[in-house]
Structure 1
Amino acid sequence: MSTPRGPLDDARGEVVAEVVRLVRDLSERSSRYADRAGAARGLHRSDLSALLVLARAREEGRDPLSPGVLARELMLSPSATTTLVDRLERSGHVERTHDATDRRRVSLAMTASAGATARDMFGPVAAAMASAAAEFSDAEMDVVRRFLGAMVEAVDAQDPGAASS
């Protein structure tokens, strides 16, 4: 096992810079793909983001979500969230239910059609990525998993509102 080196080593710095560029390129291309695939199905970027939040909530056992939780996770105003949920409900991708005892309480959940749309949109990309990943050994995939996890943590740790020096 090699010892991690500091970012100041010139050769390593060049490699790290190239890897960071590739991660950025993957992120940018993934974002563009999502925009194109969503547009082809009449979905805005905010629609896709909302469906992703709802899908994660389902995976994590937090399903259904309230509109307030959705608004916080998407950093949207209540009125923007209402517009978004109305649009997703009209398109058949979100089901809005009212609590039986308190009609003011609303819950949101993805519909089966939203899952089908997501599989249609992202299934081919996931299959292509799985095919590309098959070229790597288990040991290499462990390193990739550890690396990508570290990159997610690095992004999450940043405060975009902090003053730059």
Structure 2
Amino acid sequence: MRRRTRESMRMGETDLAAIRYLLAAQRRGQNVSPKDLAANLDISSASVSVMIDRLEKSGHVSRRRHPTDGRGVVVVATEDSETEVRETLGIMHARMLAVAESLSPAETAAVARFLTEMAVAIEDLSSESS
């Protein structure tokens, strides 16, 4: 899904990760500074500055004054960016739902059993290594 979203939005992995982080922070009502973004993405401040410039030029983010510290700057995903992500994911989710709805009850039961058993196997593996 991430690859499709990146391709649709014509951006790289780190750029999309930045947009996703900004959108999640905005939903929580949190301000994100360039320093916060660099820490979350594990990239240098120079790299985050170049990335923000690129995303700002493409209309995906904007820089604004920090609401409580007038000297600081926050980075905000634009409404267009949020709409683009939502539309791209909406199309993919609709396709995934159509596939799930096309399964017979027996196929659905088999998939559910498989996923449950895989989850247990992974959980067992992680508890063994602890």
Scaled by the length of structure 1, the TM-score of the pair is 0.56
Unaligned runs of 5+ in 2: none
Mapped to 2, the partners of 1:110 and 1:35 lie a distance apart of 15
What displacement does 1:69 show?
A: 1.0
Which structure has the higher relative contact order (CA within 8 Å, separation 6+)? 2
Q: Does 1:71 align with 2:38?
A: yes
Q: Secondary structure at the match of 2:59?
A: coil
Unaligned runs of 5+ in 1: 1-29, 155-165
Q: Secondary structure at the match of 1:96?
A: strand
Mapped to 2, the partners of 1:101 and 1:124 lie a distance apart of 38
Aligned residue runs from structure 1 range 9-158, under 5 A: 30-39=1-10, 43-59=11-27, 61-99=28-66, 102-134=69-101, 135=103, 136=108, 140=112, 147=119
What displacement does 1:121 show?
A: 2.3
Question: Is contact 1:38-1:45 (8 Å) kept?
Answer: no
Please report the RMSD computed on the Cα atoms of aligned residues, expressed in angstroms: 2.8
Mapped to 1, the partners of 2:3 and 2:76 lie a distance apart of 26
For residues 25-65 of structure 1, the C-alpha deviation after alignment (integer angstroms, 9 at most, x for no partner) is xxxxx3432342232xxx23222111011122123x14321
What displacement does 1:77 show?
A: 0.3
Q: Secondary structure at the match of 1:118?
A: helix
Mapped to 1, the partners of 2:39 and 2:67 lie a distance apart of 24
For residues 59-111 of structure 1, the C-alpha deviation after alignment (integer angstroms, 9 at most, x for no partner) is 3x143211111111111100100111111112221121113664431111111
Mapped to 1, the partners of 2:98 and 2:44 lie a distance apart of 40
Greater helix content: 2
Mapped to 2, the partners of 1:51 and 1:113 lie a distance apart of 11
Mapped to 1, the partners of 2:87 and 2:40 lie a distance apart of 25
Q: Secondary structure at the match of 2:63?
A: strand
